[in-house]
């Protein structure tokens, strides 16, 4: 009985190792693809230009609020309680508007980034599928999404970038 169990386990291990011998797995660093392709670099430049423009607007608004706060502190002792309260409320309103503007700007930048990178991702995935089918890959994983390490010879990132830029 023990010999039979041993043989069954041995046969199972042999069959599973033969099945694994036909498995071909690769991985791609999609962030690197997005950042390294010509289209990705152009998208990053557009995004940086948009970010700089918004940053200047936000810095101006922040300086205006700081100036309002300093003016209020200087005049605070000379103001009546009603005027002080009104000025404090105005300052708080401006700070809330600023915080809303910051949040809105961040969301718009993220949306713009998605808009600019989505076509790159779609095209890269198509290239990855073509490589996988052509070269008989069983599976191609995304680095950073479960792949902690992989041998360099199964990293298809540079090939995908090269093929992407060729098209």
How many Cα atoms within 13 Å fall on the side-chain side of residue 123?
19
**What stretches of 2-154 show up as alpha helix (H) in DSSP?**
2-21, 30-36, 38-75, 81-135
**pLDDT tier for residue 42 given thresholds of 50, 70 and 90:** very high
Number of Cβ within 10 Å of residue 47's Cβ equals 17
pTM of this prediction? 0.66
Q: Which domains does the chain have, with CATH numbers?
A: 23-166 (3.30.910.20)
pLDDT-derived band at 19 (thresholds 50, 70, 90) equals: low
Give per-residue pLDDT as tens, 101-139: 999 999 999 999 999 999 999 999 999 999 999 998 888
């Amino acid at each position: 009985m023990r010999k039979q169990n041993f043989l069954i386990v041995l046969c199972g291990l042999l069959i599973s190792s033969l099945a694994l011998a036909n498995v071909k797995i690769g991985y791609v660093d999609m962030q690197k693809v997005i950042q390294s392709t010509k289209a990705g670099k152009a998208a990053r430049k557009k995004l940086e230009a948009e970010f700089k423009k918004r940053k200047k607007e936000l810095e101006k608004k922040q300086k205006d609020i700081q100036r309002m706060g300093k003016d209020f502190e200087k005049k605070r002792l000379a103001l009546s309680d009603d005027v002080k309260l009104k000025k404090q409320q105005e300052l708080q309103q401006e700070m809330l508007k600023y915080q809303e503007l910051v949040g809105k700007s961040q969301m718009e930048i993220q949306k713009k980034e998605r808009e600019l990178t989505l076509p790159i991702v779609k095209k890269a995935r198509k290239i990855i599928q073509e490589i996988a089918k052509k070269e008989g890959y069983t599976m191609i994983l995304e680095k950073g999404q479960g792949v902690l390490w992989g041998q360099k010879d199964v990293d298809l990132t540079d090939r995908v970038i090269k093929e992407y830029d060729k098209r």
